[in-house]
Structure 1
Amino acid sequence: MNTAQQSLRALVDKWLAPTVATPAHVTRFSRMNSNHRRYVCVEITRQTRMAIFFFRHDDGWCVFPPGAHGPTIGDRARASAG
């Protein structure tokens, strides 16, 4: 998914589909302690209350937190393999 093309509002519309009768509300926002990246909790109430956390990544907003950078293939890995 290309998150750079979608705003936080677009993701809220996609995941929660708020309406005039059931609007979405930001209930919490801050920064994560581990990496200081922003997060927002958006809540909507229909028959039950539902909340989704949205996390800021380098390339946009996502519904999953940014993870630690895992192993990657770089020049050193290719040089030692060849």
Structure 2
Amino acid sequence: MRNTDNSLRALVEKWLSPSEANPARVACFRHLANRKGCLVQVESVHPTRRLSIAFFRHGDGAWYVFPPVAA
């Protein structure tokens, strides 16, 4: 069974703390050139700032804030 602590949803909740007043939304989605993963940029707008984080899906299916190493 896969660890859900590394799901994209869990990471967005951890890093951006979305709420009904400040929801998170996908701002960008791209497949990586090597087709070994993808990039999802998620943002949340708060009254005083805009938060945006890029998440990378690696070949093992896990999500991280750093890109996968090119082979």
TM range (shorter): 0.7 to 0.9
**Normalized against structure 2, the TM-score is what?**
0.81
Find the aligned partners of 2:22 and 2:50 in 1 and give their Cα distance: 11
The structure with the larger Rg is 1
Moved >6 Å (runs of 4+): none
Match of residue 32 from structure 2:
32
Unpaired stretches in structure 1, ≥5 consecutive residues? 70-82
**Local SS of the residue matching 1:22:** coil
State how far apart, in whole Å, the 2-side matches of 1:30 and 1:68 are: 16
Which residue pairs with 1:43 in the alignment?
43
The structure with the greater share of residues assigned to helix is 1
**Secondary structure of 1:68's match?**
coil
SS of corresponding position for 2:12? helix
**Structure 2 counterpart of 1:52, which letter?**
I
CA RMSD, Structure 1 to Structure 2 (Å):
1.4
TM-score by length of 1: 0.71
Across the two proteins, how many residue pairs are aligned to each other? Answer: 65
- Which structure 2 segments of 5+ residues have no match? none
